Amino acid sequence: MDTATKTRWQDELYDLLRKHKITQFAYVPDAGHRILIDRSLADPDAHSVALTTEEEGVALLAGADLGGARGVLLMQSSGVGNCINMLSLVKGGKFPFLTLVSMRGEFGEGNPWQYPMGQAVQPVLEAMGIICLRVERPEDVIPTASAALTRQGVRMTGKSAATASAATASAAAATASAATAPGFVLDRRTAVPALIGKHEDFLFVCGLAGTSRDIAALPKDGAHIYTLAGAMGGACAAGLGLALARPDKKVMVVTGDGELLMNLGSLAMIAVLNPPNLQILCVDNGHYGETGMQQTSRRSLPARASS
């Protein structure tokens, strides 16, 4: 393919994505996406989000959807492997999910390390419930992307994701009690509401396990709360997507130290974009409370709750 043809279809693709109201462009760079990335960086009406790992993009787009915005994840085929568990968020929360995957590890590939994941992309995505549309020729890019964008616009459920999640959180609150570490003095059920103040002032994204119960204990009506019931490590990125989608609202991520440590790179990503309406509260008990109070990797520090 000559350079002019390559440039033309990528520019057309960017224009198509914007026409379909895509405003969040999340990526770990790949040469195949260079033009889309550059266009998003130059676009004052789009958010160009440099991820530290592709799975953050899955969570980011879920957060964007919670705020009524649309996004796309741009990644190389190897990045699909980094997303597998996070795709349970798409399935569990019935979120729309659009990704453009530039393929390596296929016919003519010169780097043997690209083959295992390149060959696994489609079966892995399909196993996680994602429909794959392949494009082999430049002239097929726009019709195929149009088909994917049409499908992305179809909601899988009439029930709002936030409502469904609040129900999950309440169920968790009913079935589990907080674990406590030996010598641990801070009562998180008292401390978390005190730190948050008026919870109605925020849109919440909270992680799985203890924090879902902390937050479920706050309100009678949880429509302003989204709780991850899995997808460990996704809360910060989902909060970022929501904060970018809703600059008119204060967004708070409530996460455990175990959950936060799983994707510590999210903090770097958030620091770069630094949205003024996003806060992160880490309920740092120094342990994986949910799974039997094993110590987390920050165990040499004194136990505390921090924000």
Ligand X SMILES: Cc1ncc(C[n+]2csc(CCOP(=O)(O)OP(=O)(O)O)c2C)c(N)n1
Task: Name the site residues for ligand X (rule: CB under 6 A).
Answer: 85, 207-211, 230, 232, 256-259, 285, 287-291
Instruction: Provide the minimum distance between the beta carbon of 8 and ligand X in the complex, in angstroms, as a whole number.
Output: 41
Instruction: Provide the minimum distance between the beta carbon of 185 and ligand X in the complex, in angstroms, as a whole number.
Output: 16
Q: Which is nearer to ligand X, 74 or 283 (CB)?
A: 283
Tell me the torsion sign for CA atoms 89, 79, 252, 195: positive
Give Cα 140 to chain centroid, integer Å. 29
Instruction: Provide the minimum distance between the beta carbon of 145 and ligand X in the complex, in angstroms, as a whole number.
Output: 31
Classify burial at 80, counting beta carbons within 10 Å of its beta carbon; exposed 0-12, middle 13-18, buried 19 or more: buried
Q: Which is nearer to ligand X, 65 or 214 (CB)?
A: 214
Q: Which is nearer to ligand X, 32 or 207 (CB)?
A: 207
Short-list 238, 231, 227, CA closest to 61? 238
Q: Which is nearer to ligand X, 54 or 257 (CB)?
A: 257
The SS3 call for residue 32 is: helix
Q: Which is nearer to ligand X, 17 or 305 (CB)?
A: 305
Instruction: Provide the minimum distance between the beta carbon of 197 and ligand X in the complex, in angstroms, as a whole number.
Output: 21
Instruction: Provide the minimum distance between the beta carbon of 154 and ligand X in the complex, in angstroms, as a whole number.
Output: 29
Helices (H), the chain: 3-19, 34-42, 54-66, 77-81, 87-93, 115-127, 141-152, 161-175, 188-196, 210-216, 235-245, 257-262, 265-273
Residue position matching structure tokens 């043809």: 5
Give CA–CA dist 302/305, Å, rounded.
10
Instruction: Provide the minimum distance between the beta carbon of 247 and ligand X in the complex, in angstroms, as a whole number.
Output: 28
Q: Which is nearer to ligand X, 30 or 257 (CB)?
A: 257
Tell me the torsion sign for CA atoms 75, 246, 238, 70: negative
Instruction: Provide the minimum distance between the beta carbon of 236 and ligand X in the complex, in angstroms, as a whole number.
Output: 12
Q: Which is nearer to ligand X, 151 or 299 (CB)?
A: 299
Short-list 38, 32, 30, CA closest to 57? 30
Strands of 202-206's sheet in order across: 225-227, 202-206, 250-256, 278-283
Cβ–Cβ < 8 Å for 160, 272: no
Give CA–CA dist 33/38, Å, rounded.
9
Instruction: Provide the minimum distance between the beta carbon of 265 and ligand X in the complex, in angstroms, as a whole number.
Output: 15
Classify burial at 180, counting beta carbons within 10 Å of its beta carbon; exposed 0-12, middle 13-18, buried 19 or more: middle
Q: Which is nearer to ligand X, 260 or 270 (CB)?
A: 260
